[in-house]
Each structure stands twice: as structure tokens, then as C-alpha cells.
Amino acid sequence: MRIGVPTERKNNEYRVAVTPSGVHDLVSHGHSVVVQAGAGTGSAISDEAFASAGATLADDADAVWSDAELVLKVKEPIESEYRHFREDLTVFAYLHLAAERDLTEALLASRVTAVAYETVQLPNSTLPLLAPMSEVAGRLAPIVGANTMMTPHGGPGLLLPGVPGTHPGRVTVLGGGVAGTNAAYIAMGLGAHVTVLDTNLARLREIDALYSGRITTVASNGFEIENSLRSADLVIGSVLVAGAKAPTLVSNDLVSRMRPGSVLVDISVDQGGCFEDSHPTTHADPTFPVHGSLFYCVANMPGAVPHTSTYALTNATLPYVRALARSGWRDALRADPALALGLNTYAGDVVNDAVAAAHGRPARPLESVLSA
């Protein structure tokens, strides 16, 4: 199969969708891989490293997209890339279509086969291709939150761990999944007082046992969210419903009653955000004020640490890329029910139920696509 890897176009996005070891694996199995020159520079991967692994280097994005049967990306295509869409193309990337109406419409109009990393789901309900970036974003969230709390960055001038004789910062994490657990782990390591809220009591028991009670666990509901947020210095939103828009857990009214200078980091912003006033920001301009608080809503947080993120992502995606390249997307999806759940659009139809519901469209049954 002809596989294309273009340079990412999203603001301050330095990841690349494959590493040289991934290229070597694909080429050794008889596939051709075309990588746009400079695509790996931000991840400290040189063009020479890709070429040595067997990739063909292309001077521009047009050369990558035009000849590819399968395009691998990290983040969703932006508007300037829509012109590359065509019916015989398969795109494999983070798409987050429930929160991306324009992209959804462009994929449907071009009849692209779009497979989303974030909706590939194993029988135990885990999301293997979202997990590595959730780990990265979760571990980054307390770090960027603590940085935002410094006075030069608009914060209240609070040192999250405090020092002897002072109170440490109070961190509330909404959601005890992969991102939330990693956020809590780092916040605890920084010396903060950490509370995790989740509706899954079994998950809260796991967190309590894992950290020997050093993290406070609370069953999540509206009352407890308000109670925790009103005393929090840093709030990390990490709520996920696979493929769907994130539920809104924090209203603007509640934000208005939080501590002045508090910081809210919304990891869920890729899926619409779990704070009422969340909207995607960029690494170049990451925060905005809401009442007396600061929101940090960068939609590609792992892009700030691209070297780590690129290798972590390829570790997870390569087995699925290998299957798509070896068998073609339809046979690969037939053979792997987990990968089949990644199919979001096909031949002008939405296939994923959550994406269809988000845009008020009918969903084409997955079975009808795979049996065609």
C-alpha cells in the first residue's frame, strides 16, 4: 500500500504520525511510505533518519496526499487540507468529529473513509490509541496549570506545592480515567492536595488503593463538584465519552463562585470541553479569563512534548497501521472489531453513532459497510 505522512498543520503541532522504526516496519512488509520533508523536525527526527529507514521524502504536502491510499496524521486535518480529500482515500488520525462540524461535512462531501484513533475500542471498553496521548496530556495538565498560576502568566502567584509553613495548592481532577489518573499522580508528586471525582466507584477504589489514600476520592455528582471546585486552586477536566461530545460539568455560574485567580485546565476540549465556556486555544495563546479565573484549553496539549508523544503514539498505532496496509481498510476492520469501531465516515455517511448524534445525522450501520 502507498502510505503518506504529511507535516502536521495545526498551530504549534510538532508531532509526526510515524517514527523511523515504524517506517522500517512498513517498508519491510512491502509498503511504500512517503514522508513530507521536515515532518519530523519538531520531534527531533531528521529527514535522513526517515530516508535511512526506507521512506521516500516529498517536498510538499501535495506530493504526499496526491499519491497516497492511506494518510497517517496525528491531529485532525485543518481547513487548508480539505482540498486533498477524495473518495479513494483513507485517513487514520485523531479526528474528534463530534466537536468538528466543518471537518465532518468536508469528509462526507468528499466521501473519504475516515478512521479515528480515539474511537478504536477494545472489548473491555479501553481506548488503546487514545491512552498514550491521555497519559501525556494528563501528566502535562498539572505542570501547565502550575505554570499558569504564576503571576507573570496571569495567575494568582501561588506555588502549587507550597513551602514549609504555607498551605499547598488544592487540585480537583474531574474524571478518574487514564488522563485524570495521570494528572492526579503528577499533582500529588508536586505536593498538592489532590481530589479526584468520578462516577465509577470501582475506579475510585483502585485509585485509593494505588496511592494508599494520599489522593482523596469522591463520588461525582453536582453537589460534590460544586463543593470541591469552590475551594480549588487548580481544576483539571478529564471527562470522556468515547466519540461523543464531553458532558458539561462546570457551569459559568459555578466558575463565578470559585476562588479568584483559580486555573481550570480542560483536557476534554478536543471533544468540546467539560467546562461551559471552554473553547479550543493554542500553545501560542493558551489561556483566557472567565470571571476571575483562567481557562487553559489547548486542544493539542501533547504537541508541546512532541518527541515523547510521537514515539508513544507510534508504539500504539503501528499494529493497526500494519493491519490497514496489509489487508486494506475493509478487511482489516472485518478482522478486528476494535479497529472497526474506529470507522467514523464512509462514502458520504457517518458510521459512528456518537458522531451522528452530535451532528443530528442518521448513522449508517457499521455492519452494512463491512458486508458491502
Integer Cα distance of 208 and 200 in angstroms:
13
- Burial degree of 165 (CB within 10 A; 0-12, 13-18, 19+): exposed
DSSP per residue, 290-306: ETTEEEE-BTTGGGGSH
Task: Please pick, among 198, 270, 277, 336, the residue that the annotation labels catalytic.
Answer: 270
Question: Where do runs of H (alpha helix) occur along the chain?
Answer: 20-28, 47-52, 61-67, 101-110, 131-148, 178-189, 201-210, 222-229, 252-256, 306-327, 329-335, 337-340, 353-358, 366-370
Catalytic residue flag (residue 283): no
- Residue 323 CB neighbours (<10 A): 17
By three-state DSSP, how is residue 72 classified?
Answer: strand
| DSSP β-ladder status, 234-237 and 170-174 | parallel
Place of cell 489561556: 287
291 an active-site residue?
no
The one catalytic residue among 25, 96, 233, 266: 96
Distance CA 354, CA 350 (A): 10
What grid cell was written down for 89? 482515500
Q: Give catalytic residue positions.
A: 96, 270
